[in-house]
């Protein structure tokens, strides 16, 4: 007896992927057996549903069941059971839990298929689905004019401190290069020319550190960045250029050196550390007042807050609270630091507050895993079910891209991307920040060079590591492929400042070097700029469907398409299809494609500006580390969906 179910194939599961509450779902199981099965069941959230015979495909029997997704958002898990003669088999998800084709076993499966059921009213901002983000670490992007430094003043072209001795014996991260709001304003023309239309700023609020994740005062910017008026000028100027700005909100903890805790008596306020009569005392959880208190990951410089405390909620999310104040000053949304350490109730209240202020506001969360099934502190999270975050920083995407480009497993890469496409509501997936570098991970150029994993070497070794010429040449070729994947797969591309000019470096602080005014890697920059222009002018690369087409050796091929005059969200949109082919290896290879079902008469490579006439089949030679972004010209407008071809 042979069983098969493929959750990525509409033959086996309709509709594909995450569904709205109250949606009719059809699941099918194919069975090859000598005799008619006695019992076929789908086990749905531990409840058995009988499956009935539907039809034959050659000698294979197809059984199916139909049901409606629950009226309340959540996750539905399922597997199958089949009994035929003396044989009993179970069929569940594969051991990688990536969906698609599963595995048959003689016992109940450990790994189950997932259906994400989200609120039928879930809607994310349309602008975010079409955005090209640029992430800026404010102290290191650009300095313009005089800056009132605090901490240790550094020269712009020097390297960040990385030893505690450099800070005077304690690692304080208080070396400042003086990047400021006026500097960002100065560079807005550069970003506009690159094609950027959204900026994500790391924390800007008053803080003793250069990263500012230990907030001292949410009400004002850090003085090294400028004033509130400078921020308003930044958002106003950016808006005039069609660039939106989201801010980094650190709401799970404050700094111990803050208006609210005031452990070091820095501020003219009665902090929670100083007195139980402090207006902020209820924000914190003291075990033994005042020295023992709950803190973020045990760092006593970062006391945790009680996010659901009424006073704290009012301060952050009230009508005149912090969240709305900065939206009114020109920001369009928030990125929530360590979202998995914030209560669902807090995030849901924040969503309600900012959407009431501006329905186009954007709420992004820092989540490193598949956010649809994330658990933290023993609780399943509700991040992508429609009443919480709009979307997340897509670290899963980053890992998949870097692994594919260095390990060259084309099959696994497409499975990982397809898993996100299956598990995330499209409203969330299409505005997930597709990053390949950030302030929390090594810059992509470093792992792409074949450098040792940063977790295996100490900070001194990371500082001393130099990418040799041959490895850098390899890394730059791979980086171009990473940019291509970033700009053509579903999601909102997010470029970390300096990646476009070839900055490298391990994790914090080596990934936070000042933007080099005298450095420009045109091999990377021109490629990225062209890709951004292609994406900004090609609707199907923004909100088109995604179909994996082909994988072979180190080659992948996928299609983005819009047909019938509407995109994947049902919005009126120009029809179009783009075929993307990548060869991630150092060897020549070829790919033969049969595109007849698409009624294709020609193809145009938008990167190289080459044109190809299509007859019957077409073969592409794919040199090492090569890519093609092919616009399909059709004989008719109607786009016919295709099934994946795997070799």
Q: Give the end-to-end CA distance of the chain in Å, rounded to a whole number.
A: 25
Residue 366 appears among annotated catalytic residues: yes
Distance CA 372, CA 78 (A): 16
Residue in 257, 340, 366, 521 annotated catalytic: 366
Residue 243 DSSP class: -
Positive or negative torsion for Cα 28, 29, 31, 35: negative
Distance CA 524, CA 527 (A): 5
Q: What are phi and psi of 236, to 5 degrees?
A: -65, -45
- Cβ atoms 518, 613 nearer than 8 A: no
Residue in 337, 508, 545, 567 annotated catalytic: 337
The Cβ-side half-sphere exposure at 347, using a 13 Å CA radius, reads 29
Residue 636 appears among annotated catalytic residues: no
Distance CA 169, CA 184 (A): 33
Distance CA 339, CA 337 (A): 5
How many residues in the chain? 647
Distance CA 645, CA 647 (A): 7
List the 576-583 sheet strands across, edge first.
611-613, 600-605, 626-634, 576-583, 555-562, 545-552, 645-646
Distance CA 99, CA 66 (A): 19
Helix or strand or coil: residue 461?
helix
Residue 333: which of 316, 310, 350, 308 has the closest Cα? Answer: 350
Q: Which residues are catalytic?
A: 337, 366
């Amino acid at each position: 007896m042979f069983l098969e179910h493929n959750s990525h194939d509409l033959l086996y599961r309709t509709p594909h992927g995450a569904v709205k509450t109250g949606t009719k779902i059809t699941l099918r199981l194919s069975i090859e057996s000598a005799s008619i099965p006695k019992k076929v069941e789908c086990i749905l959230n531990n409840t058995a549903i009988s499956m009935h015979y539907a039809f034959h495909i050659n000698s294979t029997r197809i059984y199916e069941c139909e049901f409606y997704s629950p009226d309340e958002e959540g996750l539905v898990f399922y597997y199958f059971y089949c009994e035929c003669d003396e044989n009993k088999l179970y069929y569940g998800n594969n051991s990688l839990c990536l969906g698609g084709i599963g595995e048959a076993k003689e016992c109940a499966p450990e790994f189950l298929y997932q259906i994400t059921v989200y609120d039928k009213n879930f809607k994310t901002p349309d602008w975010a689905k079409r955005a090209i983000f640029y992430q800026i670490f404010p102290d290191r992007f650009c300095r313009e004019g005089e800056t009132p430094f605090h901490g240790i003043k550094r020269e712009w072209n020097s390297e960040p401190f990385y030893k505690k001795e450099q800070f005077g014996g304690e690692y304080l991260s208080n070396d400042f290069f003086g990047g400021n709001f006026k500097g960002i304003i100065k560079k807005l023309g550069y970003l506009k020319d690159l094609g950027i239309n959204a900026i994500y700023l790391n924390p800007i609020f008053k803080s003793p550190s250069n990263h500012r994740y230990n907030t001292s005062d949410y009400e004002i910017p850090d003085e090294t960045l400028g004033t509130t008026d400078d921020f308003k000028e930044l958002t106003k100027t950016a808006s005039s250029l069609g660039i939106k700005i989201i801010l980094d909100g650190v709401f799970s903890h404050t700094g111990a050196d803050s208006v609210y805790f005031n452990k070091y008596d820095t501020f003219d306020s009665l902090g929670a550390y100083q007195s139980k009569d402090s207006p902020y005392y209820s924000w914190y959880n003291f075990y033994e007042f005042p020295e023992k208190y709950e803190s973020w990951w045990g760092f006593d410089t970062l006391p945790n807050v009680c996010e659901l405390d009424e006073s704290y909620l009012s301060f952050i999310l009230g009508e005149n609270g912090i969240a709305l104040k900065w939206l009114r000053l020109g920001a369009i949304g928030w990125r929530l630091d360590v979202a998995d350490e914030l209560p669902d109730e807090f995030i849901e209240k924040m969503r309600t507050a900012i959407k009431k202020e501006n329905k186009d506001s954007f709420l992004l969360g820092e989540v490193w895993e598949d956010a649809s099934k994330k658990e933290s502190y023993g609780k399943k999270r509700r991040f992508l079910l429609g009443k919480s975050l709009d979307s997340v920083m897509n670290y899963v995407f980053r890992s998949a891209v870097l692994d594919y480009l260095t390990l060259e497993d084309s099959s696994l890469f497409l499975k990982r991307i397809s898993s996100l496409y299956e598990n995330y509501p499209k409203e969330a997936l299409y505005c997930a920040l597709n990053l390949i570098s950030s302030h929390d991970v090594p810059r992509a150029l470093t792992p792409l060079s074949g450098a040792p994993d940063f977790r295996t070497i100490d900070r001194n070794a990371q500082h001393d590591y130099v990418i040799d010429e041959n490895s850098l040449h390899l890394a730059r070729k791979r980086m171009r492929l990473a940019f291509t994947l970033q700009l053509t797969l579903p999601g909102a591309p997010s470029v970390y400042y300096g990646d476009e000019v070839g900055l490298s470096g391990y994790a914090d602080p080596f990934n936070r070097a000042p933007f080099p005014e005298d450095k420009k890697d045109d091999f990377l920059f021109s490629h990225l700029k062209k890709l951004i222009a292609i994406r900004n002018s090609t609707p199907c690369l923004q909100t088109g469907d995604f179909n994996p087409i082909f994988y072979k050796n180190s080659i992948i091929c996928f299609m983005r398409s819009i047909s019938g005059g509407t995109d994947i969200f049902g919005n009126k949109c120009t029809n179009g299809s783009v075929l993307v082919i990548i060869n991630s290896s150092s060897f020549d290879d070829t790919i033969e494609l049969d595109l007849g079902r698409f009624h294709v008469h020609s193809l145009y490579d938008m990167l190289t500006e080459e044109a190809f006439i299509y007859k019957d089949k077409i073969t592409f030679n794919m040199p090492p580390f090569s890519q093609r972004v092919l616009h399909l010209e059709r004989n008719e407008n109607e786009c016919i969906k295709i099934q994946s071809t795997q070799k």
